[in-house]
Amino acid sequence: MKLKKSRKERKCHACKTLISKGDSYGQKSITIGSKENGMTDSFDREKQAFVIHQMRVNVCLCSECAK
């Protein structure tokens, strides 16, 4: 995994270690939730709103966890 220098304080997603300003960290995208009927979102007629079933987010990993 390619490491970047952090420009602000972050928390490692895996071990919850604090990544201080200037420390190296890695970033990866993870998937949250699961698709419903093969869809990542769908329109809920009752709520009159889109419901997200699955989404991808970027999480930060400390240099140890990024190895």
Stretch that binds Zn ion, among 13-21, 33-41, 42-50, 52-60 (CB under 5 A): 13-21
| CA-to-CA separations, 18 to 5, 31, 38, 53, in angstroms, rounded | 14, 23, 37, 30
Both tokens assigned to 9: 């304080």
For residue 15, state whether it binds Zn ion (rule: CB under 5 A).
yes
- What 8-state DSSP symbol labels residue 66? T
Query: Would you give the distance in Å from CA 4 to the centre of its chain?
Result: 16
- Residue from 3, 6, 14, 23 that binds Zn ion (CB under 5 A)? 14
Q: Nearest approach, Cβ of 32 to Zn ion (angstroms)? A: 19
Residues that bind Zn ion (CB under 5 A): 12, 14-15, 17, 62, 65
